[in-house]
């Protein structure tokens, strides 16, 4: 188990067969491409991996496939285990611990409009269910509101909670969490504004587009660490341009189309995901084929 969890992590995609079953070969293809990009690690079973469309037993199997594919590497593994029911989250957490994962993470419970107290006790129970460090999650779009600094701070003070994935654009809250919890890990979750998260105190990032441009985000993280703002701005501009194309296609379908274009057999998304505009596909291919962009793909 690795103890230093800081850095940039790909929010790993899931490989599905043409009939949308979990496909081990395609999952390994995705992992192999990610391992070539110089990332700190992989965030397995999260929203980018379409976990909301998967069953608990499928997610447990995915954890095992990824752990085996990464065996012998220095890649750190964070298992996202946030299910609708706490009991399923705990089952996935304990499975990840048996498989040798380095940490856990979980969306807050979001199938109903849970209170802040219910979210607090969900994380308290999950953190106590294993000896792995837990990365909690601020994602206003999933619970329908922003959490306050005090609410998030109370969760970060729980035993076993090592940090937070911060997927909000309220950077004042992020900066206050950094001030109150200097020893906790803060991952920023907005790929296209990575720089602003780093400037506000984030220790790294977890992102969807890292599946394609992990090399770029590793370089962007290094540029921010070294204070090379010119390099960081140039890399962030590429990130924004890519995200702009993805919004026309749909983010997850667009990322999978990107990998297919780069020669990675990763399979489709599960329904109801679909490509939003076929007209945007030539623009995606033109973007990926630009020599200035190709240097950042693996």
pLDDT digits (tens, 9 = 90+) for 144-154: 889 999 999 99
Burial, 289: exposed, middle or buried (Cβ in 10 Å; 0-12, 13-18, 19+)? Answer: exposed
pTM of the entire structure? 0.97
pLDDT digits (tens, 9 = 90+) for 210-230: 999 999 999 999 999 999 999
More confident residue, 239 or 143: 239
Domain count of the fold of the chain: 1
Q: What is the pLDDT of residues 73-108, one digit of tens each?
A: 999 999 999 999 999 999 999 999 999 999 999 999
Residue 238 lies in a domain: no
d(CA 73, CA 120): 35
DSSP alpha helix (H) spans, 70-209: 86-99, 116-128, 140-143, 149-156, 171-180, 194-199
**What CATH number has the domain bearing residue 86?**
3.20.20.70
pLDDT tens digits, one per residue of 182-221:
999 999 999 999 999 999 999 999 999 999 999 999 999 9
Exposed / middle / buried, residue 115 (Cβ in 10 Å: 0-12, 13-18, 19+): exposed
pLDDT one-digit tens code per residue, 23-52 = 999 999 999 999 999 999 999 999 999 999
Residue 224 in tokens: 């921010």
Looking only at Cα atoms, what is the longest distance across the chain? 51
Averaged confidence pLDDT in the chain: 96
Query: Is 22 part of any domain?
Result: yes
Nearest 5 degrees, angle CA 97-CA 53-CA 276?
130
Collapsing DSSP to helix, strand or coil, 177 comes out as: helix
Residue 242 lies in a domain: no
Identify whether 272 is preceded by a cis peptide bond (ω within 30 of 0).
yes
Domain that holds residue 97: 7-226
Query: Has residue 94 been placed in a domain?
Result: yes
Q: What pLDDT score was predicted for residue 110? A: 87
Looking only at the bridges linking them, the beta strands covering 41-44 and 7-11 are parallel
Q: Quick one: pLDDT at residue 137?
A: 96
Residue 77 lies in a domain: yes
Catalytic residue numbers, as ranges = 137, 165
Identify the pLDDT of residue 144.
83
Q: For residue 263, is it within any domain?
A: no
Residue 99 inside a domain? The answer is yes
Average pLDDT over residues 67-71: 98
Asked whether residue 191 is domain-assigned, the answer is: yes
């Amino acid at each position: 188990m690795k103890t230093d969890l800081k850095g940039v992590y790909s929010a790993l995609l899931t490989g599905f067969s043409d009939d949308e079953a979990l496909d081990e070969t395609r999952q390994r293809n995705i992992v192999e491409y990610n391992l070539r990009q110089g990332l700190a690690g992989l965030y397995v079973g999260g929203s980018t991996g379409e976990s909301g469309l998967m069953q608990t037993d499928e997610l447990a199997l995915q954890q095992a496939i990824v752990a085996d594919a990464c065996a012998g590497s220095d890649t750190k593994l964070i298992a996202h285990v946030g299910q609708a029911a706490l009991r399923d989250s705990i089952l996935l957490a304990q499975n990840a611990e048996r498989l040798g994962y380095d940490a856990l993470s979980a969306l807050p419970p979001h199938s109903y409009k849970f209170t802040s107290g219910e979210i607090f006790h969900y994380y308290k129970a999950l953190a106590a269910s294993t000896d792995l460090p837990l990365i909690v999650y601020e994602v206003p779009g999933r619970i329908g509101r922003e959490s306050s600094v005090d609410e998030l701070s109370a969760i970060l003070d729980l035993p076993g909670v090592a940090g937070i994935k911060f997927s909000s654009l309220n950077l004042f809250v992020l900066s206050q969490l950094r001030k109150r919890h200097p020893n906790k890990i803060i991952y920023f979750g907005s790929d296209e504004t990575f720089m602003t998260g780093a400037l506000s105190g984030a220790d790294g990032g977890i992102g969807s587009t890292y599946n394609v441009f992990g090399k770029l985000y590793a370089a962007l993280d290094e540029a921010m660490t070294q204070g090379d703002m010119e390099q960081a701005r140039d890399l962030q501009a590429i990130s924004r341009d890519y995200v702009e194309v993805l919004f026309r296609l749909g983010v997850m379908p667009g990322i999978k189309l990107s990998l297919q274009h780069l020669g990675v057999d990763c399979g489709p998304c599960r329904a109801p995901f679909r490509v939003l505009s076929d007209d945007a596909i030539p623009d995606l291919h033109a973007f990926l084929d630009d020599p200035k962009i190709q240097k950042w793909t693996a």
